[in-house]
């Protein structure tokens, strides 16, 4: 899973439970790592049938990372997608283990600082 620049065809999802983290520029690298973990879990669990979840750079009154969904079933509503990803993010934040996050961070081979800077253009 790679990061993508904001483009048409994606539904943007901003889980409320990650809002404070995503909104703090000092925590941007950590926010991107956690969003990447949520996206990987969503894809592995097939949370959105036919859809792929990625981490995107959103530009709206500044730039920030968010989840982007592409290619899901035409029967899925935008609200349903928001709810499913928000629930998964909440589950991972509340009951997911730090060990799970560390395993994700270290198993991907991604250099997180470089990934974050490249994605966000900083």
Going from N- to C-terminal start, the domains of the chain cover: 4-120
Q: Does the pLDDT at position 103 exceed 50? A: yes
Over residues 21-38, the pLDDT tens digits come to: 998 888 999 999 999 999
Q: Does the pLDDT at position 4 exceed 70? A: no
Distance CA 85, CA 35 (A): 11
- String of DSSP letters for 51-97: -EEEEEEEESSSEEEEEEEES--TT--HHHHHHHHHHHHHHHHHHS-
Three-state SS at 83: helix
By residue count, the chain amounts to 122
Instruction: Categorize the per-residue pLDDT at 8 as very low, low, confident or very high, splitting at 50, 70 and 90.
Output: low
Over residues 84-99, the pLDDT tens digits come to: 899 999 999 888 888 9
Mean pLDDT of 9-14: 90
């Amino acid at each position: 899973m790679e990061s993508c620049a904001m483009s048409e065809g994606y539904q943007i999802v901003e889980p409320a439970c990650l809002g404070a983290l995503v909104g703090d520029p000092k925590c941007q690298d950590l926010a991107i790592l956690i969003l990447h973990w949520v996206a990987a879990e969503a894809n592995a669990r097939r949370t959105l049938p036919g859809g792929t979840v990625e981490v995107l750079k959103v530009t709206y009154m500044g730039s920030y990372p968010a989840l982007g969904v592409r290619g899901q079933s035409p029967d899925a509503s935008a609200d349903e997608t928001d709810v499913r990803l928000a629930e998964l993010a909440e589950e991972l934040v509340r009951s997911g283990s730090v060990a799970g996050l560390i395993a994700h961070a270290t198993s991907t081979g991604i250099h997180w600082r470089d990934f974050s800077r490249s994605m966000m253009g900083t």
